[in-house]
Amino acid sequence: MDDLIKDLHDRKDKAKYMGGIDKINRQHSLDRLTARERIDQLLDYDTFLELGMLNHSNMEGYADKSWGDGIIAGLGKINGRSVVVAAMDKTVFAGTEGTVSWRKSEKIHEFALSKGLPIFHLGEGGGLRMPDGMGSDGISSKIMPKYLTNHGRQVPFFTSILGDSYGWSTWMAVSSDIVVQAKGTCMAVAGPRMLEMATGEKISSEELGGWKIHAEHTGQVDLFADRDEEAIEAMKKAFEFFPSNPSEDPPVRETSDNPDRPLDEVMKLVPTARNRAYDMHKLIRLIVDDRKFFEVKELYGRALITGFAHLNGRAVGIIANQPFRNAGAAGPKECDKATEFICLCDSWNIPLVFLHDIPGFHVASAAEKLKMPTKIMVWNQALAKATVPKISIVVRKSIGAAYGNMGGPTMSDFVFAWPTAEINFTGPEAGVNVVYGRKLEEAEDPGTEREELLEQWGFDSGPYKAAGKHLIDDVIDPKDTRKVLCRTLDFLCERNGSLSQRLLANWPTGF
């Protein structure tokens, strides 16, 4: 027995060194952590239960050189909450997936779904291993697995891109709820070398799938970090806003911030003049608990802000217009960003708060070529199907169809407006020009006539007509915005928490 136990420990000691000390040192020379170090960074101390530690490649002669077969996986805890974790191991066959690691990944994913445990994927690697995927039999056994394509947001799914990732880690990322990318890495279908061989295109990894590509152009990544440790910490921070499974509310966070705290600074933040810009971030931080706002997709579709915060300890998702960008007008990217965030929050029982200051949609020929009508309607469809609590505040202007997309009447449980709110089919300047164009042409004093018409148009756009007919729920003092949000949220969640019907859980994760 002693000899058998010694042999076991010898095998596991070797497995701890993955692909060998030389490859570990090479990983460190790139200022990257190893797969095991990443897991240690992610999980609470001494909570990792590894599964498949003695796995190795099924290729003849590689048993002692391929411990884990490219993936280290198991169970652990994050801030006391149980999770499933899988980390690609760059020291073994460059983090590619083989037959054994494919089987391990499938089993650990299916276990997570059966037990309602969140999944954390720490990604880096070169995709499917050539020998294991070659031939009709190889590729036939490794087509995109159903556990991934039919994931359906059954449990929260987080992925970080911590090194160049092609193939598997990319598929995991675009199937996830939250994606974090370390700067200096690439995420793409295939790497630059494969691209050059297949198509003749020469391109750097940064140009192909670097962080700026995903931050500004694709929107496929939510958060970015300079180092592995920061990326992993961002995943853990995002997890604080999510339940462990669909049957739970997100965790309530302790706060000493008074839910009735008046927003005494608000008058200095938001100008009453509709054409003056301001930073919506400042208003959001003033409203939420402890002024802490966790923004996602910060550089994508920048006329719209999306992110997480807490109100009286309860997690919420915030969708707000940004007057600093295109006066807050939403274009194609903003539409996609809103749709995806609504699907995310509704799937994970996270109430939605809308802060309006939008002059309408960004209408231009370029936007039409990007299917702007479809994108507007898909945003509307997602919002209509969302059944989490929804509260809407019209801060300043909310014009045209955008009023509905931002959670206007019939779209939210409560709609409130500030006295500064301007609500109409179109803005005053455009409206006066269209409706009274001929009258202005024939007027003796067009300037004076225009001012009078604009004044009347502004009165008609004020919030009191809608409030008088109970088309909105109330006009509120801006200083009471936090109090109104916290109180209505408590009423909405009193009976069933913030549980949704999850009608959007099966929407593609691209939305």
Residue 359's CATH number: 3.90.226.10
Measure Cα distances from 453 to 288, 370, 413, 428 in Å.
Answer: 39, 36, 34, 9
Pair 33, 185: CB distance under 8 Å? no
6-11: average pLDDT:
93
pTM: 0.92
Of 199, 220, 239, the residue that ends a domain is 239
pLDDT at residue 413, rounded to an integer: 97
Q: Does one domain contain both 166 and 205?
A: yes
**Of 35, 110, 28, 41, nearest to 70 (Cα)?**
35
Tokens representing residue 122 in the block: 């720490």
Amino acid sitting at position 49? L
Structural domain span for residue 339: 266-421+462-493
Amino acid sitting at position 1? M
User: Which tops the pLDDT comparison, 468 or 440?
Assistant: 468
**Of 227, 220, 84, nearest to 147 (Cα)?**
84
DSSP characters over 61-127: T-GGG-GGGGEEEEEEEETTEEEEEEEE-TTTGGG-B-HHHHHHHHHHHHHHHHHT--EEEEEEE-S
pLDDT at residue 13, rounded to an integer: 92
For CA atoms 264, 316, 409, 382, give the dihedral sign. positive
**Pairing relationship of beta strands 314-321 and 304-311 according to DSSP bridges:** antiparallel
Q: Does one domain contain both 330 and 478?
A: yes
DSSP symbol at 44:
P
Could you report the per-residue pLDDT of 365-406, keeping only the tens digit for each? Answer: 888 998 999 999 999 999 999 999 999 999 999 999 999 999
pLDDT at residue 66, rounded to an integer: 85
Pairwise CA distance, residues 274 & 432, whole Å: 16
User: Which tops the pLDDT comparison, 58 or 46?
Assistant: 46
Q: Does one domain contain both 390 and 307?
A: yes
Give 314: exposed, middle or buried? Use CB within 10 Å, 0-12, 13-18, 19+.
buried
The count of domains in the chain is 3
pLDDT at residue 458, rounded to an integer: 63
pLDDT at residue 219, rounded to an integer: 96
Q: Does one domain contain both 220 and 270?
A: no
| Range scoring the smallest mean pLDDT among 26-40, 73-87, 132-146 | 132-146
Within-domain flag for 118:
yes
CA angle 206, 333, 294 (to 5 degrees): 80
Pairwise CA distance, residues 496 & 480, whole Å: 26
Phi, psi of 443 (to 5 degrees): -70, 145
Within-domain flag for 362:
yes
Pairwise CA distance, residues 30 & 158, whole Å: 24
**Pairing relationship of beta strands 294-296 and 314-321 according to DSSP bridges:** unpaired
User: Is the pLDDT assigned to residue 439 strictly greater than 70?
Assistant: yes
Mean of the per-residue pLDDT values of the chain: 92
Q: How confident is the model at residue 430 (pLDDT cuts 50, 70, 90)?
A: low
**Of 461, 371, 373, nearest to 421 (Cα)?**
461
User: Is the pLDDT assigned to residue 145 strictly greater than 80?
Assistant: no
DSSP symbol at 189:
S
Within-domain flag for 244:
no
pLDDT at residue 46, rounded to an integer: 96
311-325: average pLDDT:
97
Pairwise CA distance, residues 383 & 354, whole Å: 11
Q: How confident is the model at residue 442 (pLDDT cuts 50, 70, 90)?
A: confident
User: Which tops the pLDDT comparison, 35 or 133?
Assistant: 35
Q: Does one domain contain both 171 and 48?
A: yes
Encode 204-268 in three state secondary structure. CHHHHHCHHHHHHHHCCCCEEECCHHHHHHHHHHHHCCCCCCCCCCCCCCCCCCCCCCCCCCHHH
For CA atoms 428, 433, 438, 442, give the dihedral sign. positive
Q: Does one domain contain both 372 and 455?
A: no
Q: Does one domain contain both 124 and 270?
A: no
Q: How confident is the model at residue 459 (pLDDT cuts 50, 70, 90)?
A: low
Could you report the per-residue pLDDT of 231-273, keeping only the tens digit for each? Answer: 999 999 999 999 999 999 999 999 999 999 999 999 899 998 8
Within-domain flag for 296:
yes
Within-domain flag for 248:
no
Q: How confident is the model at residue 435 (pLDDT cuts 50, 70, 90)?
A: confident
Q: Does one domain contain both 345 and 487?
A: yes
Pairwise CA distance, residues 339 & 325, whole Å: 19
Helix (H, G, I), strand (E, B) or coil at 464: helix
**Pairing relationship of beta strands 49-51 and 352-358 according to DSSP bridges:** unpaired
Q: Does one domain contain both 57 and 193?
A: yes
User: Is the pLDDT assigned to residue 364 strictly greater than 70?
Assistant: yes
User: Is the pLDDT assigned to residue 313 strictly greater than 70?
Assistant: yes
Question: Which segment, 268-277, 281-290, 494-503, is predicted with the most confidence on average?
Answer: 281-290
Q: Does one domain contain both 220 and 143?
A: yes
Within-domain flag for 254:
no
Query: Dihedral of the CA atoms 151, 224, 288, 345 (nearest 10)?
Result: -10
Pairwise CA distance, residues 449 & 454, whole Å: 9
Could you report the per-residue pLDDT of 332-359, keeping only the tens digit for each? Answer: 999 999 999 999 999 999 999 999 999 9
Within-domain flag for 79:
yes
Q: How confident is the model at residue 59 (pLDDT cuts 50, 70, 90)?
A: confident
Helix (H, G, I), strand (E, B) or coil at 16: helix
Of 187, 221, 239, the residue that ends a domain is 239
Pairwise CA distance, residues 259 & 443, whole Å: 54
Amino acid sitting at position 456? Q
Q: Biggest alpha carbon distance in the chain?
A: 107
Pairwise CA distance, residues 26 & 510, whole Å: 35
User: Is the pLDDT assigned to residue 309 strictly greater than 80?
Assistant: yes
Of 222, 239, 256, the residue that ends a domain is 239
User: Is the pLDDT assigned to residue 294 strictly greater than 80?
Assistant: yes
List 307's β-bridge partners, or say none.
295, 318
Q: How confident is the model at residue 133 (pLDDT cuts 50, 70, 90)?
A: low
User: Which tops the pLDDT comparison, 431 or 469?
Assistant: 469
DSSP characters over 138-157: HHHTSS--HHHHT-TTSS-E
Q: Does one domain contain both 121 and 213?
A: yes
Tokens representing residue 463 in the block: 């919030």
User: Is the pLDDT assigned to residue 460 strictly greater than 90?
Assistant: no
42-64: average pLDDT:
91
Give the rounded distance of the alpha carbon of 215 from its chain centre: 12
Other C-beta atoms closer than 10 Å to the C-beta of 80 total 7
List 182's β-bridge partners, or say none.
225
Measure Cα distances from 259 to 283, 351, 352, 449, 482 in Å.
Answer: 16, 16, 17, 47, 7
Within-domain flag for 315:
yes
User: Is the pLDDT assigned to residue 452 strictly greater than 80?
Assistant: yes
Q: Does one domain contain both 368 and 453?
A: no
Tokens representing residue 182 in the block: 């370390």
User: Is the pLDDT assigned to residue 293 strictly greater than 80?
Assistant: yes
User: Which tops the pLDDT comparison, 431 or 284?
Assistant: 284
Residue % of the chain over a pLDDT of 70: 97
